[in-house]
Structure 1
Amino acid sequence: MTDKGEGMYPSPAEQAANTEVFITSELYARVPRKVDYRREKAALQDLAARMAGCPDELLPRLVDLALETTGAVTGGLSLYDEASTPGAFRWRFLRGLLEPFDGGLAPRDYSPCGITLDQRAPVLAQNPEKVYDWLVEAGLSLPEVLLVPLYVGSDSPLGTLWVVADSNGYFDGEHARVLTEFASFVDIPLRMVRSEQHLRQTLDEQEMLTREMNHRIQNLFAMTHSLVRMSARHAGSASELADTLLGRLGALQRAHGRVRSGFASSQAAPSGSDLEDLIRDIMEPHEAKSGPARCALSGTPLVCGPRSATALALIFHELATNAAKYGALSTEVGRVAIDWREEGERLFLRWTENGGPRIEGSPERSGFGATLVLNSVTRQLGGSLRHDWRPSGLVLQMELPIAALAQ
């Protein structure tokens, strides 16, 4: 089966106006068949049993019972495929002569099924291949087709249930009534299945969020313990220890604030933080209250995951703290430029200081802050780090794997 391009076939209204093909009014002009209510009741009981015990068998059994109760020679379901472009119906659970076409597609706006959904009522079509050339291309000739709409709830179209007779003038109003009863009956279990699927998905997401939150809390406790222990080792006084710890914990807090919004959304994991926003948050306390900006940022948009955002927050906090103590941010005219670019699977990030005290060479020894930056880059993010102690100021270059930043 093939599909014409959108706009290349008659509108649904023009198709439905073809009284040679669409003969729904004849359904109620024909003498109705003798009703076998016992058989109809047994069919509904069968569907109820499937609903309770084997819900996955409900739709195929619906097709089987539709053929049994109407005496049609073939039939099936056309289920609306929302993912297709343009919209289309997928043939499912076909029985009889059309069974080889199971899984095929039919255009939403160029098919009897589309007309049925638009009219939200039974439709009778006679030799629809006279209008729909994709039926001709498939070698199909359908003397008479009776279709009824399938809905999940009142506004969510699922598709259509249809049966085919091997001669014209076969179907009548009682056939349409029985199929409508069947279609209405399965609406309830289909809604239950969808509700159950939605509930299961919600519970799975909540469980994943709980695991993720527990994991992050454990990481924060471990990192806080390490910060306290290492900061105490290098602090000269209680006041210095308090200031150092407050600064580092503040960086962690800002990083956590950047990613925690993902927990309030419907996503199964935190959405992450934009790299530029994260750096700007860390550098903001070092900006002058007035005058030109002291920190210039430039780079392509990049989203960092919770783990990498925490590491980056500590890295830039330490760099900013050192710059404020000894480097460019320790003078009124000093400036820091931070830029980054992506090349393949790597991110190249550069920190450049200018306007601070003249640098005579690399430091003779490194403190805990430098060790924290090195470990964060190499161990946590799997990257590399290079310092260039220029007379005009420190230039630090990081190379980081993009994959690690997504974590």
Structure 2
Amino acid sequence: MPSWTFDDTFVSAELDRRPSPERDHRKIKQAIQELAVHMVDGPEKVLPRFVELAMQVTDGVSSGISVADLNASPPIFRWAFLKGTLAAFEGATTPRDHSPCGVTLDNDKAVLTRHSERYYSWIADVNVILPEVLLVPLHRGTEQLGTLWIVSDELSHFNRGHVEAVTEIAAFVSIALRMHQTETRLSQALSEQESLAKEMSHRVKNVFNIVDGMIHLGGRRAETTHELTQALSGRVRALAVAHGMIRRSFADGSLPIRTADMDTLIGAIMRPYEDPKRSTRVITRGPDVSFGEHTTNAIALVLHELATNAAKYGALSRETGTVQIDWSTNATTLTLKWKERGGPIVTGAPLAVGFGSRLVTDTVTGNLSGTQRYDWQPEGVEVTLNMPLERLKA
């Protein structure tokens, strides 16, 4: 039995006993905004920069991410994006069930270790000395992805303030991870269908551009890091839900047939644009209408494009702007009306038709066998869509 015990190694309780200087909220907020820029301009840069920022805000000497590989036998962690004194160990693997990272995921909260090389022989075998390591779990939604870890070369270094700062940044990065991995999987699935791949690329760009706009708007309004993180997390999660509902399905029999109703679908698409302080920003009204999976995808795509354009150029680009969505049915037709007010003055139809507008036209007239009409009123655009009820079950 080793003289250095588990309780000697895992000393997380000390985090609350140590003095914790006042956090630099401005510095943390700037870190989140910088990561948001990378989400838009280069998602592949998010994780390397996240590791660097975590090391900087905690004054550590090394940091990295241990990515959980549960499909390996036995399960392992793979080290990635290492910075600082341990950068030479990039790509190394460690056991899932006998490591500080494993303990962190088992507890699902921040963990502090002291001289873990004295308890874990596999650390001592590579001649690494780890006076203190702070570990924080990383998630993608409810899924555990691995841990972020930061090394200090002195004892009694980390405190609760470090945990809170890194956890807030990690919460935002987990959203970036989720969206980036979703984009990767969809791109692979669509690689054999060029037109769908172009459609997905366009949609993902719009998602990231909207996120970027929300980041900068929230950054100007938020007074604390917590307020900024809470506002962004809720909006980006809702946007990810809408993003998922717009996916295409393939006729391989692997996906079950699903149905959706109009009210739920509109709610999912428009939730990122709602203002909790203004119940009138997005107004919806209409009877119960349900439809099949292919129609769900088509209508979700149309609503998403209309909302994206409203956020870029129309009513949703202004704090006072509103969108009213009404739908009704008769014996043969579903009619949906989109009405914007409170945005910039509309001087007429756009001179050029973009990819998104063409996508709406092709979807309404092609997939849904319907018609569309745009009315460019000075106070806001109005869009009327008519679709045959017989197509809704598809």
TM-score by length of 1: 0.47
Structure showing greater relative contact order (alpha-carbon pairs closer than 8 Å, 6 or more residues apart): 2
In our comparison, the structure showing a higher alpha carbon Rg is: 1
TM-score by length of 2: 0.48
